[in-house]
A = this chain, B = another copy of it.
Amino acid sequence: MSLLIIGSVAFDAIETPFGQTGKIVGGSASYISLASSMFCDRVGLVAVVGEDFDFEFLETLRSRGVDTNGVQVKTGEKSFFWSGKYHLDMNSRDTLITELNVLGDFDPIIPQEWESPDFVMLGNLSPGVQITTLQRLKKRPKLVVMDTMNFWMQIALPELHEVLKMVDLLTINDEEARLLSGELSLLKAARKIQSMGPQYLIIKKGEHGALLFGPDNQIYFCPALPLEEVFDPTGAGDTFAGGFLGYLASQDTVDFSVMKKALVYGSSAASYCIEKFGTERLQEINKTDVESRLKLFHELVAI
């Protein structure tokens, strides 16, 4: 099945207790594309970059089967740039620089051959761009997944509510779930968010794993692997979403039971992502590597 990804393809500069990078490739859609294309052989990307971008990265995506025809290159403009510094515990970070650049007036143009995808992943972008993307599709996809963040809850809540009504699954972290719902209990928060639109909800808890909520009060919990070293958490959530969705898109049916498996694939992919800076580790691994860690997840919770 085909998977259309829309999100940021950008530059990051990252500082962790272990070191720091110059400008390296980042952006939600970069991670999602790398992770999903390990499992799904029809992945298309819609994004925008400036003429300063690292075009070798797009070549890398193409070599992994990602159709990059939907990546607009804006002459005379600069790519989106984010810079952040992680605290010692690696669970929190400060944003040092955010330069929207080409993302400021991003108009998501969808190539004709991608107007009827089976799956859509709306990476973290303004709710307005997410809505426009869905409106431009020729038919309702089988599954629409969206990511968002606290920033949009603060400055674009009405639009966020609008796009929530249009999607099947929302991925969000625990803090954001509490903010969006106004509920402290994640169980109550999940029910409230599901009543806003998405039938499915994934609450990401970083090193504490992820919860999947489905219809009829179904819940599934997938732990994160306890790791020796967290080198750089940047992109772990997007890699998780990409692995999850890539696996789903490779399956014939989509239901709660298949999503549970997909969550483990996503978590396994994310466990690699954090081993090196940025997308570096993801570029070294393939489906077999992700599958080789699935056993560890099962052993971790098996009685």
Contacts and interface: CB of A to CB of B under 8 A. Distances in A.
Interface string A186-227: 111010000000000000010011010000000111110011
Interface stretch (A73-81, A104-112, A118-126, A295-303): A295-303
A156 interface: no
For the residues of A in contact with B, the DSSP-based class is mixed
Nearest to A184: B89
Contacts of A298: 303
A261 interface: yes
Chain A, interface residues (CB within 8 Å), range: 20 to 34
A187 B228 contact: yes
Copies per complex?
2
B219 A184 contact: no
A230 B185 contact: yes
A88 interface: yes
Interface string A262-303: 001000000000000000000000000000000000111111
Contacts of A88: 184
Which of A209, A222, A303 is the most central at the interface, judged by chain B CB atoms within 10 Å of its CB? A303
Given A88-B184, A89-B184, A208-B205, A303 B264 contact: yes
23 contacts: A88-B184, A90-B184, A184-B230, A185-B226, A185-B227, A185-B228, A186-B226, A187-B226, A187-B228, A190-B226, A205-B208, A209-B223, A219-B300, A220-B302, A220-B303, A221-B226, A221-B301, A222-B301, A223-B223, A223-B301, A260-B303, A264-B303, A301-B301
Interface of A: 88-90, 184-188, 190, 205, 208-209, 211, 219-223, 226-230, 257, 260-261, 264, 298-303
